[in-house]
Structure 1
Amino acid sequence: MGGRRLTAEDRRDVEAGLAEDLPYAAIARRLGRSTSTVSREVARNGGPGGYRAEHADRAGAWQRRHRLPRPATPPTADATHGQESAAVHAYVDRFATMVIGTGLPRTAARVLASLVTAPAGARTAAELAQRLRVSPASVSKAVGYLERLDVLTREHEPGRRRARYVIDDDVWLRAWLTSARKNAVWAETAQEGADLFGLSTPAGARLEAMRQFFAGIHRDMTGPPVDAPLDDAMTVLAALLHAARPLTTGELAAALGWPQARAATAVQAAERRPEVCRPLTLQRTPSGAHRVAAQHGRLTPAQRTALTQRPGRCPIGSPDEPGWIIAPGD
Structure 2
Amino acid sequence: MPGGRLTQQERQQIALGLADGLAYAEIARRLDRPTSTVTREVMRNGGPTSYRAESAHRATERRTHRRRQAAPRDPAAPEQLHGRDAEAVREYEETFTAVLMGSGMPTMMSRVMACLTLTDTGSLTAAELVQRLQVSPASISKAVTFLESQGFVRRERDERRRERYIVDDDIWYQSMVASARSTAQIVEIARQGVGVLGPDTPAATRLENVARFLDFVSESIARAAEQARDILHTKAVPPRVDTAEPGAARGQDG
Distance 1:224 1:102 in 2: 21
In structure 1, the residue corresponding to 2:104 is in which secondary structure?
coil
Structure 2: segments with no counterpart, 5+ residues: 1-74, 226-254
Q: Hey, which bits of structure 1, 4+ residues long, moved more than 4 A? A: 81-84
Amino acid at match of 1:217: V
**What is residue 152 of structure 1 aligned with on the other side?**
153
Give the letter aligned to residue 145 of structure 1.
Answer: F
Residue 89 of structure 1 aligns with an amino acid whose one-letter code is R
1:120–1:212 CA distance, 2 compared to 1 (3 A): same
Q: Separation in 2 of the partners of 1:82 and 1:206?
A: 51
Paired residues of 1:181 and 1:218 also in contact (CA < 8 A): yes
Q: Aligned pair 1:131/2:132, yes or no?
A: yes
Distance 1:117 1:224, change over 3 A: closer
Report the Cα distance in structure 2 between the residues aligned to 1:81 and 1:222, rounded to whole angstroms: 34
Q: Aligned to 1:134, what secondary structure does the other structure show? A: coil
Aligned position for 1:89: 90
Q: What one-letter code is carried by the residue in structure 2 that aligns with 1:129?
A: V
Distance in 1 (CA, whole Å) between partners of 2:223 and 2:214 is: 14
Alignment of 1:51-130 (within 5 A): 79-80=76-77, 83=80, 85-130=86-131
1:217 Cα deviation (Å)?
Answer: 0.5
The Cα offsets for residues 23-45 of structure 1, whole Å up to 9 and x where unpaired, read as xxxxxxxxxxxxxxxxxxxxxxx
Amino acid at match of 2:196: L
Alignment match, 2:214: 214
Deviation at residue 164 of structure 1 after TM alignment: 0.4
Unaligned runs of 5+ in 1: 1-77, 226-330
CA distance in 2, matches of 1:106, 1:224: 29
Q: Aligned ranges for residues 1-330 of structure 1 at < 5 Å?
A: 79-80=76-77, 83=80, 85-158=86-159, 160=161, 162-223=162-223
Identify which range, 98-107 or 149-158, moves more after superposition: 149-158
State whether residues 81 and 131 of structure 1, in contact with CA within 8 Å, keep that contact through their aligned partners in structure 2: no
Aligned residue number for residue 255 of structure 1? none
Contact 2:151 2:174 in 1 (8 A): yes
For the residues of structure 2 that align with 1:82 and 1:223, how far apart are their CA atoms? 35
Identity of aligned residues (%): 39
Change (3 A) 1:173 1:80: same
Tell me how far 1:224 sits from its aligned partner.
8.5
Q: 1:209 & 1:128 partners in 2: Cα distance? A: 46
Counterpart code for 1:127: E
User: If the length of structure 2 is used for normalisation, what is the TM-score?
Assistant: 0.55
How far the C-alpha of 1:158 sits from its partner, in A, is 3.0
Partners of 2:177 and 2:103 in 1: CA distance: 17
Structure 1 contact 188–211 (Cα < 8 Å) conserved: yes
Distance 1:118 1:99 in 2: 17
SS in 2 for 1:223: helix
SS at match of 1:113: helix
Letter in structure 2 aligned against 1:216: F
Greater helix proportion? 2
Q: What SS does the aligned partner of 2:124 have?
A: strand
Letter in 1 for 2:215: A
Structure of higher CA gyration radius: 1
Distance (Å, rounded) in 2 between the aligned partners of 1:158 and 1:80: 21
1:105 CA drift (Å)? 0.6
For the residues of structure 2 that align with 1:157 and 1:200, how far apart are their CA atoms? 61
Letter of the 2:128 counterpart: E
The 8 Å contact of residues 198 and 205 in structure 1, kept in 2 or not, is answered as no
> Aligned partners of 2:176, 2:105: CA distance in 1, in Å?
16
Asked if the contact 1:199/1:208 (under 8 Å) is kept, the reply is: no
| Paired positions, count | 148
